[in-house]
Amino acid sequence: MLVGVHTAYPTRHARFAHRFEAILDHNRLEHIRLDVGEPSFWDRVRNLDLFIYWWGHEYYERQLALSVIPLVELELEVPCLPNMRTCWAYDDKIREYYMMRLHGYPMAESWVFWDLNQALDWMEAADLPLVFKLRGGAGSSNVVLVKDRPSGRRLIRRMFKSGMTSGNVPLSVVRRIGNNPWRTLYGWAAGARLKLHPRRATPGRELHKNYVLFQRYLPGNDYDTRVTVIGDRAFAFRRYNGPKDFRASGSGRMNWDRDMIDLRFVRLAFEISSFFRFQSMAYDFLYDSDRSPSLCELSYTYVDAAVRECPGFWDASLRWHEGHFWPQYCLLADALDLPDMRQPD
C-alpha cells in the first residue's frame, strides 16, 4: 500500500497535510511526498493506492487542485482525498446553494443574480436586512449585513462594474453597512483606494464580478452549530457570534458541550453527506423563523484542532462514542479501509 501526499503548500493547509503523514508513520504505512510542479509527478502518482491533496480557499490553490484531482481520480482511477464529489462546491457559495436547493435541503433562502438590471429591480422590493456574500472566502471575511437599499444598490453596481477581490468587501471589517455614516464613509473610502491600487492592495486575489449573491438574514441566532461528518461520524460544537456581530464564523468563540447540540442538525448533516456520498463535510446550521434547521454554508475542509477538541462523535444511528479524534485519522481509516488504525497520542 502506497499513499501520496501533496505537500507543496504555502498555507496553513500544510499542517493539515503533515498530520496525515504523522498518522501514516505511526501506523508504519508507506507514503511519499508529491509536488505537481515536479517533472516526475505524473509517473509517481499513477502508482498510488491513495492520493491526498488537501487544499484551501486561496484562488491559486483552487486553480491547481482542480487541474490535478479530476485527472488523478477519473483518468488514472487513483482514489483521492478529497475526491471531486466532496470538493466540487468548496468555497463557492453559489454552487453550494444550487446543489442543496436542487435536492430540497433546507439551505437558507438566497438570491443569485447574473444580470445587473435584474438585481437592481429585485432590490427595490426586497425584504431588509439582507446578508451580502461573495461566493468565496473564509472566516466571514466576505460577508456583510445590508440594512438599507442605497447600500444594496451600491454593492450590486460594484459587483457588475469594477468587482471586488476576496477580503476587500467594503465594511467587512466593521461587519455591517447602512447605519453608521462614519463607518459607511470609511468603508467606501477604503474601497476606492483598493479600486485605484488593486494589485498593490490584493496580490494574487480572485476578482469577483458579474454576479451578486444575497442570503436571507436570520435574526435571533447568537451562535451557529458546526457539524462535521466524516464517514459514520459526526462531530459537533457551537460557535458564538463575535461582540456586536451577527456572524459566528471566525469569532473563535466555541463550546464543545455535546449536551448543547440540537440533534436535528446532526441528523440532517448525516442525511446530506449520505445522499451526496461526501468523504468529509462541515455544515454550518442556524435556526429559521420557526426554529427549524437552516443550512447556511458547507465546507469539505476545516480547522482540524476544533474537531479534535470534540469529546466524541455520534454515529449515523445517533449513538455516542467517547474520545478525541483527529479528522485525518478518520479520513485515512475510511479511505484505506483500516478501521483498526491507531492515532498518535
* 90-105 pLDDT, tens digit each: 999 999 999 999 999 9
pLDDT, position 177: 44
- Give the pLDDT band (50/70/90) at residue 308: very high
- Give the pLDDT band (50/70/90) at residue 195: low
- Give the pLDDT band (50/70/90) at residue 60: confident
pLDDT, position 58: 84
Facing residues of 133 across strands? 143, 213
Query: What average pLDDT score do residues 300-319 get?
Result: 98
Nearest-angstrom CA–CA distance, 178 and 132 = 12
Q: What percentage of the chain has pLDDT greater than the value 70?
A: 85
Query: What average pLDDT score do residues 283-299 get?
Result: 97
The Cβ of residue 140 has, within 10 Å, a number of other Cβ atoms equal to 20
pLDDT, position 201: 43
pLDDT, position 137: 76
In the predicted structure, residue 191 carries a pLDDT above the cut 70: no
pLDDT, position 293: 98
pLDDT, position 142: 86
In the predicted structure, residue 82 carries a pLDDT above the cut 90: yes
The whole model's pTM is what? Answer: 0.89
pLDDT, position 117: 99
In the predicted structure, residue 73 carries a pLDDT above the cut 60: yes
Q: Which residue has the cell 485519522?
A: 329
Higher pLDDT, residue 189 or 222 = 222
- Give the pLDDT band (50/70/90) at residue 200: very low
In the predicted structure, residue 178 carries a pLDDT above the cut 70: no
pLDDT, position 183: 46
Distance from the first to the final alpha carbon of the chain: 24
- Give the pLDDT band (50/70/90) at residue 167: confident
Integer CA distances (angstroms), 80 to 49, 254, 332, in order = 9, 31, 11
In the predicted structure, residue 288 carries a pLDDT above the cut 90: yes
Considering just the CA atoms, what is the radius of gyration of the chain in Å?
21
In the predicted structure, residue 175 carries a pLDDT above the cut 50: no
How confident is the prediction for the chain on average, in pLDDT? 90
